[in-house]
């Protein structure tokens, strides 16, 4: 198939940036979206232009590095996939595809489609862990039984890949699905209880400091999340913070 | 605790609390107004009680005003903050793919409701305040009107088809606001309303029945004007 | 230089304990005057950085990704082994050790493997304490699964995302130390050289991938945890950015590179669909428990399927060749990874591949669906169930077991694997070879350590499933933190290492010169062009089966591609900005050298062992006719290569492998 691509080009963080049109031809429907971008880049290199910079790594939907806003949706029109797993069969011959970086004040553009998501790391630094040393002398793994239900729910929250699609999608650029998932994972497990109050307060404070917006419960994040992280996690974070503040 | 209400989540909890209060107020406002359809006398009695009871006038009324103002001001504050969180807009954004129009446009339905409240205050509340607190007339009577004046005033207002039209439009926006707002308030309070079918249905019922009821009242009085 | 593995004396099971009891320690007040650089933040690097920082050292951690959490350990699906014996099925440290050595085809170092098995149980305790949500049973205790090549259930798992959860555990431990200021994290940084002062590793040169700035970082010890070199094949299950640059740079500075030819080719990956393909996706090995692998018996059917005239489901049982069941009646579809991969290649080379590229075989779940369906019908007391009912019941069971994998397959291939057989083909997955290290995980350069997949130590010639995660975390959490302390106890009076010395000047100049060469070389071909050509040579001639002639050709061809690369590569953009093509150019330049050493190593090892199969070394008669033949009398050693300029000139050093606790046996799956 032949396609027209409208791609955000921005030389560096300080550059203003603009949309530029490109044409690609002979795209196979079996290609992944990023393989289509590879074709474009090979073409640009051959023509003596600079290729489009974009983040990607594992290309199997788990590392969370890829991050494009395709035709107005984070990771494009398919559900439950990251951009690297989006396939060209989702598009038709002659389509125009608009490709933009994830947009949020807390995710500044570094170059073209590459954005800086270290705000997520800093939120994790604020409390996304259980304070336990690797002494090798921790108690036996089976010492505290954990109900299957809690373990499974914690796992569902923990599957978040930190890609930032929730922020990119949210009309308010809110990071609450991301933070909620992390808070939930530890809130559901006994290991996380000791420092639960400090954790949620510190992580929320850091989230606010980073300049993410507020949650207005549109539910868009849950739908666009490639791992289907549930809104339940945001509700749980709200409860955890209320609980922590009353103490 | 003071830190809590400065946090993003604290603010949305505050938003939800004021929303619950306003939704409760709306329910009782509706309950009283619908009386006017069935019995002018009962409506007058209840209105006079509400209009003269010191607890309601001196305690609940200021709380209500505060609630209304707070909900609006906080709504705007959050909107501005949220806008700041994305300074460069998308060239193409397909919001319909993942969220409802209502959820994405609370600020616009809210503004429409604010415009309505201004009209509503001019129509009812300012004259009420003027009569009672400035003129000092707590009798509930009016020259040329038999019995209490409340029912009479109500009907007067709905003579004009333009006003009725404005009210109907405003209530449609109120319905849109509530269609998202009802469940959203629960969600903000930590209850996953978005995934609970029953609560969602209750929310939908509330969001449609109450505004529709108000619309009915307005139209009813427009067509059943005594004079 | 003779290789000294520094394995402690004494009985195997006491070595590690005795070692720990007698090493030198650094007191807490001195630790804060010691800096350690860790390159790579996967399971090995992440866990090492966190633990060293907890101990009190100043850690500088580097990763090329935008966050440590994205390292490719995250993609491991199946699980992590540990000798916990929670199932009471006879597991023990010794048994895990034995399985690992045997699985590695007797080409690993006994003492290292035993230590790995010994600390394995602690890893699970540690991860649970960190909040890793392992799967549990209804009693609230940890659940286990079993994996290929072993007789016990010792694999712990977190759905199909065990690697992700373990990495996030290590990442969380790092976050805690970053928040304490004990780890200084350098995201989007790539190490481009190591700096040696007086024979010791004392720092690195790194490039900030956002600004292009070349930076000097000094430390008292340097730890390389940069993963494997599977991307030398261009197509592999590795991440796009996975590279061998850190490992190769230290090799060029004196670290020996061991057994590069030991590569694991995983049999169940989604086949290539065209030349544009950028990477291959692995489907968990567990699928072979229920899937049957076949190709058509008749060439007519192969062609008909390729041309779309027939569907695989049109073929009757008689017209199918279940070649694994035919060749290996005892193990059937469950033969080890290397055997299954080679058998698929054999059929496809013979022309029986079932997709357009001719490189795919079927993995069929129809029998499993029928079997489960009938079972379910019995359980639910359904008499004379219809064929449709059986299929429906059977598909429900298959979905419960493999639903997420089937869904992933359907997303990528756009075919419903419940209705039509999956297509699979082997792909490069893991590299057992790597930088040579002694028992302390130190390379042949003082103060330079190498851990995780980047080193060669624990898996011999073949790695068992669910052992990679175990090794990464064992090295980082429980081994390196001890062994490095022993070395650093001599450095407590050294003080801060200055970066304004001539050694740093020289290293930085080399790095800068090379970068400038790339951006100024007005070639005509992109980096990927060369990488793909290298990958094709590697796959065709240094892939699943190798022979002398092919390997010699490969060495010559790789050298030719390398020479052409340095003349004709085109790197757009500048040095002082984010430039992904420039990053790739540096990595491919290193792969072009490593690939040749790889072929040289494969050429010299004229035996078949584990992932390395030499066509010249097969059993000639008897039941095992045509199967891999190990030559223990000639090749029971680690081949450690010393850099001497050209890869072809590398000098071989041998570390003889002694097996005192295990008897060497031929693997048989017939």
- Determine the length of chain B: 227
Helices (H), A11-67: 33-46
Restricting to C residues 1-40, those with a Cβ less than 8 Å away from any Cβ of A are none
pLDDT of residue C322: 96
Domain stop point among A50, A79, A111: A111
Within a domain: C394 = yes
Question: What are residue A4's DSSP bridge partners?
Answer: A23, A96
User: In three state form, how does the secondary structure of C394-443 look?
Assistant: HHHHHHHHHHHHHHHHHHHHCCCCCCCCEEEEEEEEEECCEECCCCCCEC
| A interface test, pick of C580, C581, C583, C584 with most A CB neighbours within 10 Å | C580
Is residue A227 predicted with pLDDT exceeding 90? yes
User: Both tokens of residue A156?
Assistant: 């569902």
**Alpha-carbon gap, residue C195 to C208, rounded angstroms:** 17
Helices (H), A47-142: 118-125
- Residue C559 falls within a domain, yes or no? yes
C526/C628 same-domain check: yes
- Judge whether A216 is closer than 8 Å to chain B, CB to CB: yes
Residues 331-350 of chain C with CB under 8 A from chain A are none
Contact with chain B for residue A159, Cβ under 8 A: no
CB contact under 8 A, B7 and A234: no
**SS percent in chain A: helix, strand, coil, step 5:** 40, 15, 50
Residue C321 bridge partners (DSSP): C295
In the predicted structure, residue B226 carries a pLDDT above the cut 70: no
Q: Which domain holds residue C388?
A: 270-427
Cα dist. C108→C458, C482, C617, C657 in Å?
6, 22, 20, 7
- The average confidence (pLDDT) of chain A is 96
Between chain B and chain A, are at least 3 CB pairs below 8 A? yes
Q: Given an 8 Å threshold on Cβ–Cβ distance, is A158 in contact with C168?
A: yes
Task: Tell me, yes or no, whether C66 lies in a domain.
Answer: no
- pLDDT score for C494: 94
- Nearest-angstrom CA–CA distance, C403 and C625: 39
> In terms of Cα–Cα distance, which of C507, C14, C491 is closest to C216?
C507
- CA–CA distance, A206 with C350 (Å, rounded to integer): 61
Q: Hey, what are A173's tokens? A: 């650029």
Q: Report how far residue A98's alpha carbon sits from residue A8's, in angstroms, rounded to the nearest whole number.
A: 8
Query: Cβ contacts (< 8 Å) between C165 and chain A: which residues?
Result: 155, 158
The helix (H) or strand (E) run that includes residue B44 is helix B40-52
pLDDT (tens digit, 9 = 90+) per residue, C442-453? 999 999 999 999
Longest dimension (CA), chain A: 64
In the sheet that C637-642 helps form, which strands lie side by side, from edge to edge? Answer: C434-435, C257-258, C637-642, C651-656
CB contact under 8 A, B99 and A212: no
Residue B97 CB neighbour total at 10 angstroms: 15
Q: How far apart are CA C662 and CA C106, in angstroms?
A: 9
Q: Virtual CA dihedral for C635, C637, C638, C643, nearest 10 degrees?
A: -80
Give the containing element (helix H, strand E) for B187.
Answer: helix B161-188
3-state secondary structure C501-550: CHHHHHHHHHHHHHHHHHHHCECCECHHHHHHHHHHHHHHHCCCCECHHH
Does the CB of A147 have a partner CB in chain C at under 8 Å? yes
Q: Point out the domain boundary residue: C402, C427, C452.
A: C427
Mean pLDDT, residues B174-187: 96
Give A144→chain B minimum CA distance, Å.
Answer: 28
Q: Assess if residue C625 is contained within a domain.
A: yes
Q: Which of C148, C191, C243 is nearest to C37 (CA)?
A: C191
Q: Write down the pLDDT at residue C430.
A: 96
Average pLDDT over every residue of A218-225: 97
Give helix A196-209 / helix A232-246 axis angle, nearest 10°: 110
Residue C4 falls inside a structural domain = no
Q: What interface predicted TM-score (ipTM) does this complex get?
A: 0.97
More confident residue, A247 or C233: C233
d(CA B9, CA A239): 10
Q: Rounded to a whole number, what is the distance in angstroms from the first to the last CA of chain B?
A: 57
C-alpha atoms less than 13 angstroms from C-alpha of C53 in its C-beta half-sphere:
28
pLDDT digits (tens, 9 = 90+) for B35-82: 999 999 999 999 999 999 999 999 999 999 999 999 999 999 999 999
Across the interface, do A141 and C125 touch by the CB < 8 Å criterion? Answer: yes
Chain C residues 99-158 with a CB less than 8 Å from chain A: 119, 122, 124-131, 133-142, 158
Number of H helices, E strands in chain A: 8, 7
| Residues A58 and A90 occupy one common structural domain | yes
Q: Cβ contacts (< 8 Å) between A102 and chain C: which residues? A: none
B120 CB-near residues (< 8 Å, 6+ apart): none
- Residue finishing a domain among A85, A111, A137: A111
Residue C416 lies in a domain: yes
Q: List CB contacts (< 8 A) between C124 and chain A.
A: 141
- What does the pLDDT read at residue C640? 98
Q: Give me the residues paired with residue C628 across strands.
A: C618
The answer on A7 and A102 residing in a single domain is yes
**Is position C36 within any domain?**
no
CA–CA dist A107, A117 (Å, integer): 5
Last residue of a domain, one of C371, C404, C427: C427
How far is residue B212 CA from its own chain's centroid?
Answer: 13
| HSE toward the beta carbon, residue B38, CA cutoff 13 A | 7
> Are A132 and A59 found together in one domain?
no
- The hierarchical CATH code for the domain B2-85+103-223 is 1.20.1300
- Domain of C589: which CATH number? 1.20.58.100
Q: What is the C-alpha separation between A89 and B134, in angstroms, rounded? A: 72
Which token pair is A117? Answer: 């998501």
Partners of residue C414 in chain A, C-beta under 8 Å? 30, 87, 89
Mean pLDDT by 10 residues, chain C (670 residues): 90 96 94 97 98 97 97 93 94 95 94 97 96 94 82 89 96 97 98 98 98 98 98 97 98 98 94 90 86 95 94 95 92 86 93 93 95 94 92 91 86 93 95 97 98 96 92 97 96 95 98 98 96 97 96 98 98 96 98 98 96 94 88 96 96 95 82
pLDDT, residue C78, reads 81
Residue C264 β-bridge partners = C430
Residues 6+ apart with CB under 8 A from C202: C195, C196, C218, C219, C220, C222, C447, C497, C503
Q: How many C-beta atoms surround the C-beta of residue A245 within 10 A?
A: 19
| Contact partners, residue C422, CB within 8 Å, separation at least 6 | C283, C287, C291, C362, C363, C364, C365, C409, C413, C415
Q: Calculate the average pLDDT of chain B.
A: 93
> Token pair 């108000």 is at which residue?
B214
CA-CA distance, B42 to C96, in Å (whole number)? 85
* Cβ neighbours of C412 in A, within 8 Å: 32, 85, 87
Exposed/middle/buried for residue C188 (C-beta within 10 Å: 0-12, 13-18, 19+) = buried
Nearest to C41 by CA among C60, C66, C69: C69
CATH of residue A28's domain is: 3.10.20.30
Q: Give the CA dihedral C274, C279, C285, C289, nearest 10 degrees.
A: -20
Nearest chain A Cα distance for residue C202, angstroms: 26
Q: Are residues C526 and C398 in the same domain?
A: no
Residue A6's region, left for phi above 0, alpha for psi from -120 to 50, else beta, is beta
- A242 shares a domain with A122: yes
| A187-202: average pLDDT | 95
Same domain, A125 and A240: yes
Question: C253 CB contacts (<8 Å, ≥6 apart)?
Answer: C193, C194, C196, C445
Structural domain of A231: 118-246
Structural domain total, chain C: 2
pLDDT (0 to 100) of residue B224: 86
Domain boundary among A90, A111, A132: A111
Query: With an 8 Å Cβ cutoff, is A202 touching chain B?
Result: no
Q: How many domains does chain A have?
A: 2
A102 touches chain B (CB under 8 A): no
| Per-residue pLDDT, A171 | 97
The distance from CA C266 to its chain's CA centroid, rounded to whole angstroms, is 10
Do residue C528 and residue C409 come from a single domain? no
pLDDT > 70 fraction of chain A, expressed in percent and rounded: 100
**Token representation of residue A22:** 């490109």
Beta strands in chain A (DSSP E): 3-9, 18-24, 68-70, 73-74, 96-101, 109-111, 114-115
- Domain membership flag for residue C53: no
How many whole angstroms separate alpha carbon A25 and alpha carbon A39?
9
Q: Which of A67, A115, A171 to mutate to test the interface with B (most CBs of B within 10 A)?
A: A171
pLDDT given at position C404 = 80
Give B1's pLDDT tier (boundaries 50, 70, 90): low
Average pLDDT value for residue range B158-184: 96
Long-range contacts of C345-352 (CB under 8 A, 24+ apart): C345/C426, C345/C543, C345/C544, C345/C545, C347/C295, C347/C321, C347/C323, C348/C295, C348/C425, C351/C299, C351/C302, C352/C295, C352/C296, C352/C299, C352/C302, C352/C321
Indicate the residue of A32, A136, A158 with minimum beta-carbon distance to C478: A136
The encoded tokens of residue C434 equal 């790597």
Position C426 scores a pLDDT of 95
- Report the DSSP beta bridge partners of residue C204: C194, C217
Select from C427, C458, C493 the last residue of a domain: C427
Q: Are strands A73-74 and A96-101 parallel, antiparallel or unpaired?
A: unpaired
């Amino acid at each position: 198939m032949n396609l027209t691509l409208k791609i955000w080009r921005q030389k560096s963080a300080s550059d203003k940036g603009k949309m530029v049109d490109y044409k690609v031809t002979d795209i196979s429907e079996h290609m992944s979206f990023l393989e289509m971008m590879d074709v474009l880049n090979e073409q640009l290199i051959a023509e003596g232009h600079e290729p489009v910079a974009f983040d990607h790594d594992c290309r199997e939907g788990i590392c969370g590095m890829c991050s494009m806003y395709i035709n107005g949706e984070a990771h494009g029109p398919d559900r439950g996939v990251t951009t690297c797993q989006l396939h060209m069969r989702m598009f038709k011959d002659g389509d125009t595809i608009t490709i933009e970086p994830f947009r949020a004040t807390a995710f500044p553009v570094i170059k073209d489609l590459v954005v800086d998501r270290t705000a997520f790391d800093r939120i994790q630094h604020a409390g996304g862990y259980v304070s336990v040393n690797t002494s090798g002398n921790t108690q036996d793994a089976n010492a505290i039984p954990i109900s299957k239900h809690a373990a499974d729910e914690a796992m569902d929250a923990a599957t978040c890949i930190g890609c930032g699609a929730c922020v990119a999608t949210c009309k308010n650029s809110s990071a609450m699905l991301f933070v909620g998932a992390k808070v939930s994972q530890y809130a559901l497990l006994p290991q996380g209880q000791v420092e639960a109050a400090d954790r949620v307060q510190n992580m929320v404070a850091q989230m606010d400091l980073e300049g993410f917006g507020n949650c207005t419960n549109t539910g868009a994040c849950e739908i666009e999340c490639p791992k289907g992280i549930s809104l339940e996690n945001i509700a749980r974070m709200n409860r955890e913070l209320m609980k922590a503040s009353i103490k | 605790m003071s830190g809590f209400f400065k946090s993003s989540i604290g603010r949305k909890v505050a938003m939800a609390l004021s929303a619950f209060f306003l939704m409760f107020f709306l329910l009782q406002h509706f309950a009283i107004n619908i009386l006017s359809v069935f019995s002018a006398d009962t409506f007058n009695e209840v209105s006079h009680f509400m209009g003269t009871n010191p607890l309601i006038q001196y305690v609940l009324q200021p709380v209500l005003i505060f609630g209304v103002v707070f909900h609006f001001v906080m709504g705007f504050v959050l909107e501005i903050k949220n806008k700041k969180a994305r300074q460069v807009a998308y060239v193409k954004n397909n919001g319909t793919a993942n969220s409802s129009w209502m959820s994405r446009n609370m600020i616009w339905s809210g503004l429409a409701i604010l415009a309505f409240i201004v009209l509503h205050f001019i129509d009812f509340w300012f004259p009420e305040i003027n009569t009672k607190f400035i003129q000092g007339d707590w009798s509930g009577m009016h020259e040329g009107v038999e019995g209490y004046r409340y029912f009479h005033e109500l009907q007067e207002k709905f003579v004009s088809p333009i006003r009725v039209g404005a009210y109907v439009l405003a209530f449609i926006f109120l319905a849109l606001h509530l269609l998202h707002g009802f469940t959203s308030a629960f969600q903000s309070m930590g209850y996953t309303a978005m995934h609970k079918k029953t609560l969602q249905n209750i929310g939908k019922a509330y969001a449609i029945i109450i505004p529709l009821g108000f619309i009915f009242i307005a139209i009813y009085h427009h067509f059943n004007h005594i004079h | 230089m003779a290789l000294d593995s520094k394995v402690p004396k004494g009985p195997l099971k006491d070595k590690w304990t005795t070692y720990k009891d007698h090493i030198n320690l650094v007191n807490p007040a001195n630790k804060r005057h010691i800096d350690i650089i860790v390159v790579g933040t996967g399971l090995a690097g992440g866990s090492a950085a966190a633990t060293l920082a907890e101990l009190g050292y100043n850690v500088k951690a580097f990763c090329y990704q935008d966050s440590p959490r994205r390292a490719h350990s995250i993609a491991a699906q199946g699980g992590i082994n540990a000798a916990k014996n929670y199932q009471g099925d006879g597991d023990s440290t010794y048994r895990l050790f034995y399985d690992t050595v045997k699985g590695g085809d007797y080409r690993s170092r006994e003492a290292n493997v035993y230590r790995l098995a010994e600390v394995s149980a602690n890893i699970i305790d540690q991860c649970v304490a960190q909040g890793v949500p392992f799967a549990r049973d209804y009693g609230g205790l940890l659940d286990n699964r079993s994996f290929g090549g072993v007789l016990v259930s010792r694999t712990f798992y977190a759905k199909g995302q065990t690697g992700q959860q373990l990495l996030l555990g290590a990442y969380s431990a790092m976050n805690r130390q970053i928040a304490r200021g004990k780890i200084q994290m350098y995201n989007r940084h790539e190490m481009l050289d190591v700096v040696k002062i007086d024979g010791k590793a004392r720092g690195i040169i790194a490039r900030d991938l956002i600004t292009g700035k070349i930076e000097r970082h000094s430390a008292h010890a340097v730890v390389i945890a940069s993963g494997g070199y599977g991307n030398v094949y261009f197509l592999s299950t590795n991440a796009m950015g996975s590279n061998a640059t850190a490992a190769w740079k230290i090799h060029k500075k004196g670290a020996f590179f061991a057994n590069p030819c030991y590569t694991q080719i995983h049999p169940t990956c989604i086949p290539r669909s065209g030349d544009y393909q950028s990477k291959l996706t692995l489907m968990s090995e567990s699928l072979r428990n229920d899937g049957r692998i076949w190709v058509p018996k008749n060439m007519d059917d192969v062609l008909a399927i390729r041309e779309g005239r027939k569907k695989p489901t049109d073929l009757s049982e008689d017209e199918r060749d279940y070649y694994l069941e035919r060749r290996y009646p005892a193990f059937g579809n469950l033969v080890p990874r290397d055997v299954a991969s080679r058998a698929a290649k054999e059929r496809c080379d013979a022309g029986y591949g079932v997709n357009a590229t001719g490189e795919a075989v079927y993995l069929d779940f129809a029998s499993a669906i029928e079997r489960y369906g009938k079972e379910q019908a019995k359980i639910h007391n359904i008499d004379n169930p219809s064929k449709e009912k059986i299929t429906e019941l059977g598909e429900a069971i298959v979905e419960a077991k493999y639903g997420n994998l089937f869904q992933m397959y359907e997303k990528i291939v756009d075919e419903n694997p419940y209705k039509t057989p999956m297509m699979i083909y082997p792909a490069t997955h893991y590299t057992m070879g790597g930088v040579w290290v002694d028992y302390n995980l130190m390379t042949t350069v003082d103060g330079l350590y190498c851990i995780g997949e980047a080193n060669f130590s624990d898996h011999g010639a073949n790695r068992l499933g669910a052992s990679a995660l175990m090794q990464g975390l064992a090295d980082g959490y429980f081994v390196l933190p001890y062994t490095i302390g022993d070395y650093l106890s001599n450095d407590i009076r050294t003080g801060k290492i200055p970066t304004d010395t001539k050694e740093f000047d020289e290293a930085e100049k080399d790095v800068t010169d090379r970068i400038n060469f790339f951006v100024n070389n007005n070639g005509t071909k992109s980096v990927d062009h060369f990488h793909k050509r290298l990958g094709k040579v590697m796959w065709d001639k240094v892939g699943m089966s190798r022979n002398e002639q092919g390997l010699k050709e490969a060495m010559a061809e790789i050298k030719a591609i390398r020479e052409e690369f340095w003349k004709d590569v085109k790197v757009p953009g500048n040095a002082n900005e984010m430039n992904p093509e420039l990053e790739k150019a540096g990595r491919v330049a290193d792969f072009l050298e490593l690939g040749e050493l790889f072929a040289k190593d494969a050429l010299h090892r004229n035996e078949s062992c584990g992932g390395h199969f030499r066509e010249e070394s097969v059993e000639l008669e008897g039941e095992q006719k045509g199967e891999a033949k190990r030559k223990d009398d000639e090749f029971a050693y680690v081949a450690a290569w010393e850099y001497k300029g050209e890869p072809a000139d590398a000098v071989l050093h041998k570390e003889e492998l002694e097996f005192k606790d295990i008897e060497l046996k031929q693997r048989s799956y017939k």
